[in-house]
Amino acid sequence: MTTPATDESATSSRLTISERAALGKAARAATPRSDQARFEPSGQRSDPVELLESQARTRVPELVPIRYGRMLVSPFTFYRGAANIMAHDLATTPRTGLTVQSCGDAHLSNFGMFASPERRLVFDINDFDETLPGPWEWDVKRLVTSMLIAARDNGYRRRDQERIVLATVREYRTAMRQFATLDNLSVWYAQFEVESLIDAVADQMAAGVVKRTRRQLAKARTRDNMTAFAKLARPVGGSARIVDQSPLIVPIDVLSVGISRDQLFGSLQAIVGAYVETLEIDRRTLVQQYELIDFARKVVGVGSVGTRSWIALLLGRDHRDPLFLQVKEAEASVLEDLLAPSQFDNHGQRVVAGQRLMQASSDILLGWLRVQSDDGEFARDFYVRQLRDWKGSAPIDEMIPDGMAAYGRACGWTLARAHARSGDRVAIAGYLGQGSQFDRALLEFADRYAEQNDRDYAALAAAVASGRLEAVTGL
């Protein structure tokens, strides 16, 4: 059973500030910052294709080729789906011994915008499928390497690639040092409010950049339940049904072969009821004012493709009051074989707990459930959240270098804030120091790992070309 990252923070908070800073400096002596550049794959390195195949064994077979097809689009999309491969590689690299609640998959596309409960547009980490207490530096390395690979994919010059990586690491380091000076509540309340930041720096940005940014913010606000309803559902009699968009969205009417819709729907209602019981009383009361109308299987992301992911359509006072919930399968974190099992028996609860620890503002309808087979031979864990609530993501492939550098700084600050909430921010800041030695080491690591990612991408392409794996592209 993993010791929660918060236990380490509780222990270190009983030390003085100087003693906590000394822990970081001692970690620096044991694991020099220059050592963080090291990545030397050995002859015993796990075969990347075998790791992908091992994940596929627990996934929906007909969806796995879609996952491979999405990973083959580019080295960057491959990297997005290769959290398990990189986790095995990170386990061989030097570590400081300082633990946080880690994301486990902190690549740049797992950050984005969404609505806080106060209806403010915030920027934060938004994917926690792999979250687990673990080394803080693993998350930073996953983030900065994603920045470099994306910059390469976009065709940026070498000096721009380096500038983006260094800006990202520097922001993490300086933000962590700033958080180390704050009291606990100030760290807990800190959040990245997108509108406030744009207002504050608008006079320092080109007019065109400000205009495009505000347009993106406006677009994010339209990504709500009503727009989802217009896109995903259609009226049927006096009710509504989710539209068949197979194989990416498959309603239960299509899936319920050999079983009546009513029978399947009754089982799904029981599942939603189990989820509702994990909510606080106020949120439970809210969801109970909605009626479950329809269910569909939905393909999501890159790395998650093949896991069992569903969307549930509920209606409130009338058809103008829809609510879409995403019910997403939660398997064991890719970090668990390398660190320790989760303290939570239910992996959906693991995801929810990690998300609440790392995010400044979490979805008010976040919950979890377990589905047991009729014969009791297996169980599947799920977590539940709103499908859309002002959610928006950055158009990475459309960014200019300055835009990606700014985005990297936003991600670096956000990751530091997330780590500062659960780990010993004073000790981590003591390890990082004021200079750029850590920054330069991570640039070197990112360079080395990006080359490995290219080789692994080629290995997947070769496996598909040889017929070892099947890939479906264009979906």
**314/184 same-domain check:** no
CA pair distance 236, 448, nearest whole angstrom: 55
Residue at 354 is within a domain: yes
**62/37 same-domain check:** yes
> C-alpha angle 298/304/306, rounded to 5°?
65
**275/330 same-domain check:** yes
Domain boundary among 326, 351, 386: 386
Residue at 471 is within a domain: no
**19/33 same-domain check:** yes
Tokens of 83: 């959290």
List own/partner pairs for 240-245 with CB under 8 A and 24 or more apart.
240/293, 240/294, 240/313, 240/315, 240/319, 240/322, 241/293, 241/294, 242/294, 242/295, 242/296, 242/311, 242/313
CA pair distance 393, 92, nearest whole angstrom: 32
Residue at 473 is within a domain: no
**160/286 same-domain check:** no
Domain boundary among 386, 407, 422: 386
**341/305 same-domain check:** yes
**260/115 same-domain check:** no
Domain boundary among 386, 415, 436: 386
Measured in residues, the chain has a length of 475
Residue at 106 is within a domain: yes
Residue at 391 is within a domain: no
CA pair distance 56, 61, nearest whole angstrom: 7
Residue 79's nearest CA partner among 145, 2, 17 is 145
Count of other CB atoms within 10 angstroms of residue 194: 20
Secondary element (H or E) of residue 394: none
CA pair distance 406, 303, nearest whole angstrom: 26
Residue at 145 is within a domain: yes
Ordered DSSP codes for 75-88: HHHHHHT-HHHHHH
Number of domains, the chain: 2
pTM of the model: 0.91
- How many angstroms from the chain centroid is the CA of residue 308? 17
**55/73 same-domain check:** yes
Residue at 113 is within a domain: yes
**85/116 same-domain check:** yes
**411/376 same-domain check:** no
Tokens of 465: 């070309």
* Contact present, 325 and 232 (Cβ < 8 Å): no
360-385 b/e (C-beta count within 10 Å ≥ 16 → b): bbbbbbbbbbbbeeeeeeeebbbbbb
pLDDT (tens digit, 0 to 9) for every residue of the chain, 475 residues total? 344 454 555 556 689 999 999 999 999 999 999 999 999 988 889 999 999 999 999 999 999 999 999 999 999 999 999 999 999 999 999 999 999 999 999 999 999 887 776 677 888 999 999 999 999 999 999 999 999 999 999 999 999 999 999 999 999 999 999 999 999 999 999 988 776 656 544 444 455 555 666 666 666 566 677 788 888 898 887 789 999 999 999 998 888 766 777 788 888 888 899 999 999 999 999 999 999 999 999 998 898 898 999 999 999 988 888 999 999 999 999 999 999 999 999 999 999 999 999 999 889 999 999 998 766 677 899 999 998 766 667 788 888 898 899 889 999 999 999 999 999 999 999 999 999 999 999 999 999 999 999 999 999 999 999 999 999 999 8
Instruction: List helix spans (H) across 277-346.
Output: 281-287
**18/59 same-domain check:** yes
**291/416 same-domain check:** no
Residue at 470 is within a domain: no
Range of the domain at 191: 5-220+396-465
